[in-house]
A = this chain, B = another copy of it.
Amino acid sequence: MMTEPTPAASQPVEDGAKQRIFRAAEALVAEHGFEAISTRDIVAAAGVNIAAVNYHYGTKTKLMLDIFRTRAAELNRERTRLLRIATETQPGDARAILRALIEPPTLWISDDRRVALRFLNRARSEGPLEVRETIRTDVRHLRRFVDALAAALPALPRDELLWRFHFALGVLHHNQAADYARLAILSDDACAPDDRAALLRRLLDFIAGGFGLPPAA
């Protein structure tokens, strides 16, 4: 008798107005983008009065910041955990480091955290200035991966490493974003991101190949 059955996402189980606003705003931004939705859209989806946003969050922008920080922290925590495991159990294995970077967002795509992931991507590209400035926090987080890769690939010059890391993030972000539409059309619906394991393998193979790593065992 501890909690409600199961929360839809990793939000607190209580379902007060504040949480409903949080989740409605996250879902709407994930689907329609930052500028396309209004405070009135949010409160309509959340089933609360329009003044509730400002009462609980002060400002629409502060609400977005709150969502962003919550979700970014969740993602970074999971990645950091996997990175620690990788460097401890498979020291020097660059592929394992890349896997720690890639696996969390890729698995999120196919469960109920897909919404959180798409929100994060929207925020990074379209979000208000206050949101985009927190990218500097992300950089501190990503540097751990760069350093781990540098240690695992001592022969690779640092600028080459950084460029390839930059390209790898491009693949990741693109994959989290909207446009499976184009892939679906190109493939006559033969390619869909349903099979999590296969998607993760393909992503890891592609990025590891881009880093010049030999194919997996």
- A residues engaging B (CB < 8 A)? 33-36, 124-126, 135-136, 138-139, 142-143, 146, 158-160, 162-167, 169-175, 177-179, 181-183, 185-187, 190-191, 202-203, 205-207, 209-212, 215
Contacts and interface: CB of A to CB of B under 8 A. Distances in A.
Contacts of A171: 167, 170-171, 174, 210
Contacts of A212: 205, 209, 215
A202 to B, nearest CB: 5
A163 B191 contact: yes
A173 to B, nearest CB: 6
A179 B210 contact: no
Given A170-B171, A211-B209, A185 B125 contact: no
A186 B202 CA distance: 26
27 contacts: A124-B179, A125-B126, A125-B177, A135-B179, A136-B185, A138-B182, A139-B182, A142-B186, A143-B186, A146-B186, A158-B190, A159-B190, A162-B186, A162-B187, A164-B202, A166-B175, A167-B207, A169-B174, A170-B170, A170-B173, A170-B174, A170-B175, A171-B174, A205-B212, A209-B211, A209-B212, A210-B210
Given A135-B179, A142-B182, 11 more contacts: A33-B35, A125-B126, A125-B179, A143-B186, A162-B190, A163-B191, A166-B186, A169-B174, A170-B174, A170-B175, A206-B211
A191 B210 CA distance: 18
A20 B206 CA distance: 43
